[in-house]
Structure 1
Amino acid sequence: MKWPENIIPICQPAHCPQLNPIERFWLFLKSQIKGQVFNTLEELRDRLNHLLSTITSERVISLTSYDLILEALFYAASI
């Protein structure tokens, strides 16, 4: 297959949430509200909005970065 220069394919096993960066982000969010009780959907939305507004881009990077992805990008850049 021929890929555009700005696309770096990284093959992952099918149905492998452990390798999906967003899953680690959701895990973090869920850990922040674990055990809390929300009486209304609006209370849950407010709490999530507050959490999301306090998360820095550095935190998102630390939660979603994988060494294997970084290594693949480094390798692809060196070809």
Structure 2
Amino acid sequence: MIPIYLPAYSPELNPIKRLWEYVKRDLKWSNYSSLDELKQNVNVILESLTIEEILSVCGWDYIRDSILSANSQLIGRQFS
């Protein structure tokens, strides 16, 4: 695991925020009678996601490039 520190107020750089927005899209017009019902529906949505859907939401080039850049900087510091 490589920690990547993101600039403040930059949710577009955070893959999990992008994925959560995608999941919430299917939830926002529904009413739930309990928290358990909401949790079940979130689980159903998450389990139904395909790899292609996840990559289309989270796999943007600038996210991958920032991860690779951070990784190369960390490796460089380890050997300095």
**Runs ≥4 in structure 1, deviation > 6 angstroms?**
7-11
Please give the TM-score of this superposition, normalised by the length of structure 1.
0.67
CA gap of 1:26–1:8, structure 2 versus 1, over 3 A, is closer
Matched residues, number = 70
Contact 1:10–1:69 (CA under 8 A) maintained in structure 2: no
2: CA distance, partners of 1:51 / 1:68:
26
> RMSD of the TM alignment (CA)?
2.7
Which runs of 5 or more residues in structure 2 are unaligned? Answer: 70-80
Contact 1:17–1:23 (CA under 8 A) maintained in structure 2: yes
Residue identity (%): 35
Match of 2:61 among 43, 46, 67: 67
Please give the TM-score of this superposition, normalised by the length of structure 2.
0.66
Q: As a proportion of its length, which structure holds more helix?
A: 2
Where does residue 58 of structure 1 map in the other structure?
52
